[in-house]
Amino acid sequence: MTDRARSLWLALGVGLLSLALLLVGAGVGSTGFESVLNARSDPVAWQIVWDIRLPRTLGAWIAGALLGLAGAVAQGLFRNPLADPYLLGSASGAALGVAVALALWGVSPFATEWLVRLGLTGAAFAGAVAGVVLTLALAKGVQHTFRLLLAGVIVGVVLSAARDLVTLAAPDTLQAMQGFTLGSTGFVGWPACGVMGGMLVVASLVAAATGRVLDGLALGESTAISLGLPLSAVRLVLVAVLALATGAAVAQTGLIAFVGLAAPHLVRSMVKTTHARLVLLSAATGGVLLMAADVLARWVIAPQELPVGVLTAVLGGSYLLWLMHRRRSTGGGL
């Protein structure tokens, strides 16, 4: 079977699994599948399924797809299999933005839930973009990949320390910050799905269009330059895709660990393909991973829930450890 045929079969399998998980997600919750069965006759059951469970499940898929795509872009851009979407300081910036917003405004008892969520979402997105911009400024552009990587690590550490200082200065925000750092899809509604979906479409088109440059970078920077590829311009575009995709996902779901790191590895373990297909398959795989984790988070200790970020960390970390052990046994790298 050719690599293209394997990619098509993988895409079909991931698509069918996504539809199956979407149906399961519509029936998992404190009231179980009874809400699905009674949705046509019971307005309350219909509201539970349509306004809460379906957008949450679909939003988990879109957020996971954004992280999976960003992970594939980051690993191709930095030529590092351990690169993840949060490498350029976006996660630390988002967390700092939420901490500052909570410290300044708090959560007013007179504010509606959507207004509070909109404020925190905007603060997280602004913080994520600000973190990436600070990384670019410190690295003096995108010309040097190693300098950009090092700047991202430094910015992430500094912004995380700043977030801790803000939290210490306003201890009332500690519980809300804990929920953000553990990750949750519980607040995702149809508007959030629309915003993330639009971002996913744009990011997918741009990332797939720049796949040829990522293929060239995989051969080495000097080889890519000799092929006449516009590295500087495309690097800037890819950094923008990385920042916007990660910022959109983090703003809606908080910090979800390991999805962006594990999804590209999972795809590469099944098919060998170009980066144009890799980023799209990684997006679909990341969506399935986060959707499955969200369903499990609601089902394992129902009617209570587990933080979805904890499940992704356990499952994703376990998978990467197994993959590392398997490849070490066969003499390959991660």
The answer as to whether 299 is a domain residue is yes
State whether residue 211 is helix, strand or coil. Answer: helix
User: Residue 83's pLDDT band (boundaries 50, 70, 90)?
Assistant: confident
Lowest mean pLDDT among 49-58, 117-126, 257-266, 274-283: 117-126
Task: Give residue 88's domain range.
Answer: 3-329
Span 214-252, pLDDT tens digits: 888 888 777 777 777 787 788 889 988 998 899 899 988
CA-CA-CA-CA torsion sign (146, 200, 289, 96): positive
Please give the C-alpha separations between residue 145 and each of 83, 153, 235, in angstroms, as whole numbers. Answer: 12, 13, 9
Kindly state whether residue 131 falls inside one of the protein's structural domains. yes
Contact 215, 139 (CB under 8 A): no
**pTM, to two decimals:** 0.89
> What share of the chain has pLDDT > 90, as a percent?
38
Split into its structural domains, the chain has a count of 1
pLDDT value of residue 160: 93
Residue 164 has pLDDT above 80, yes or no: yes
Rounded CA gap, 16 and 69, in Å? Answer: 19
Give the Cα separation of 287 and 220 in Å (integer).
Answer: 30
Which helix (H) or strand (E) is 174 found in, with range?
A: helix 174-182
Distance in angstroms (rounded) separating the CA atoms of residues 151 and 128 = 15
| pLDDT band at residue 109 using 50, 70 and 90 as cut-offs | very low
Is 58 a domain residue?
A: yes
Q: Is residue 334 part of a domain?
A: no
Q: Provide the residue count of the chain.
A: 334
> If DSSP codes are grouped into helix, strand and coil, which group holds residue 62?
helix
Is residue 72 a part of any domain in this protein?
Answer: yes
Residues 293-304: tens digit of each pLDDT: 999 998 888 778
**Can you state the percent helix, strand and coil of the chain, rounding each to 5?**
80, 0, 20
pLDDT mean across residues, the chain: 85
Q: Is residue 327 scored above 80 in pLDDT?
A: no
Q: What is the pLDDT of residue 108?
A: 44
Distance of CA 188 to the CA centre of its chain: 14
User: Residue 305 maps to which CATH number?
Assistant: 1.10.3470.10
Reference 245, options 260, 226, 263; nearest CA is 260
Angle of CA points 125, 195, 72, to nearest 5°: 70
State mean pLDDT over 108-134.
70
Q: Is 129 exposed, middle or buried (0-12, 13-18, 19+ CB in 10 A)?
A: buried
What CA–CA distance (Å, rounded) separates 120 from 101? 7
